[in-house]
Amino acid sequence: MQGEMNPVRDKTLKMSADSLASRVPNGMNFIVDGGKKLSGSVATSRSKNGAVALLAASLLNRGRTTLEHVPRIEEVNRLIEVLKSIGVSVTWEGANVVIEPPEKINLETIDTVAATKTRSILMFIGPLIHLFKKFELPQSGGCTLGLRTVRPHLFALEKFGVQIEALTDRFSVKHSELKPAEVVLFESSDTATENALFAAARIPGTSVIKYASANYQVQEVCGFLRALGVGVEGIGSTTLTINGTENIDMDVSYSVAEDPTDAMFFISAAAVTGSDITIANAPYEFLEVELLVLEKMGLKFTLSESRLSENGITKLKDIHIKPSELIAFPEKIHARPYPGLNIDNLPFFAVIATQAKGTTLIHDWTYEKRAIYYTELDRLGAVTSLHDPHRISITGPSHLRAAEVICPPALRPATIILVAMLAAKGRSTLRNVYSINRGYEDIVKRLQSLGASIEAA
């Protein structure tokens, strides 16, 4: 029922939010005067997941790596802090990041605080095995979403001759000899696929990765490896063949592509506020299932002609969203590995469902905690029913109302609270927004450009 108290849920969310609040600066709040229509055009930002993967991949190169169009977000900042702490030269040149490796990387000086704030530190294992036979990395953090196993990484890298022990506060990694391998992934994990690619890239010979993720960030990494002279076949498929090269020493420039989850944020904002806006340069191939579901929910939109991003791989279209009357989707909405509905885009359907006539069932099967965070929409007037840690029903349309909410310590659940606040009449406050700043660049300014009344305070 709307506004129903759930002591277990509320205690879990409060503990997670309080834990986050103790680690971030004061004053990181958003003030939103909601209930207003948006209008105009916004360009899709560059990919968070692509950028952090490419920062890790730069450790494969002994030459200078220039990453173009890097988003200035907290997740990128944390990895740059880690790179600098181990001796890597990293400088911003406008929107580009220039990375130059030292003669010898020093893991003894690693910034443990920065490393533990991002799960992306896991992706350093693949490149570092080419530089060290034995090393340790801090245990990773990032979003608080329940149990997130690292076994797919361990199982994949074992095939190349790497032994990894996951301890309480660190990963202990060692190997005696690296060898090419045929790897079958335990699950189609984006980051496990990337770690396997990093391992194979500098091992001479042919390696094969089966049940690989074909998601956008993996395609980014494959394009970058090709730019480094590594043979990669099967980009966009679930079987990747890598012809590794032992030494990579070249100056290379590579552009980060556009982010489908950034585009999805603005799609959902338009849908929930009943607005007429255009999302330019959206990587539509990674949004096709999402758009199909939204079309069946009554969302009206048009697509422009296709063009390529600078990486020569990612196809872009402009998406023009029109004010629409929404209805509940007749089937459960759930994520799948690409080309299915993206797991990072699934939460947006929770806030969209608050404005759809009928009851929508969302099955977030991947994470034990994330569906619990969706119940925070109740604080803004949504009507939700949590069936278990993975399944939630949302009944609409709801008249959303202003509220003060502590930001969930997970990126996508945090952003859907912000979207709901854009639609909720009155003044809302979203406190401790570090989790949003981890993944979204200049979100306040970009919303203001569309006519939203929002301020950072």
Antiparallel, parallel or unpaired: β 162-166 and 96-100: unpaired
- Identify whether the C-beta of residue 130 lies closer than 8 Å to the C-beta of residue 57: no
Q: What is the mean pLDDT of residues 29-47?
A: 98
Look at residue 108 and tell me whether its pLDDT is greater than 50. Answer: yes
Per-residue pLDDT band for 366 (boundaries 50, 70, 90) equals confident
Q: What is the pTM of this model?
A: 0.91
Selected from 3.90.400.10, 3.40.50.720, 3.40.50.300, 3.65.10.10, the CATH number assigned to the domain covering 48-255 reads 3.65.10.10
Report the pLDDT value the prediction gives residue 89, as an integer from 0 to 100.
98
Domain 7-45+258-456 and domain 48-255 have a common topology: yes
Query: Of 167, 176, 162, 107, which Cα lies nearest the Cα of 140?
Result: 167
- Does the structural domain 7-45+258-456 have CATH classification 3.65.10.10? yes
pLDDT for position 140: 72
Best CA proximity match to 421, nearest among 35, 23, 73: 35
What are the tens digits of pLDDT across the range 243-285? Answer: 999 999 999 999 999 999 999 999 999 999 999 999 999 999 9
Note the pLDDT tens digit of each residue in 215-235.
999 999 999 999 999 999 999
Tell which wins on pLDDT, 27 or 274.
274
Q: For the chain, give the mean pLDDT.
A: 92
Q: Dump pLDDT digits (tens) for 172-228.
A: 999 999 999 999 999 899 999 999 999 999 999 999 999 999 999 999 999 999 999
Report which residue type is found at 278: T
Residue boundaries of the structural domains of the chain: 7-45+258-456, 48-255
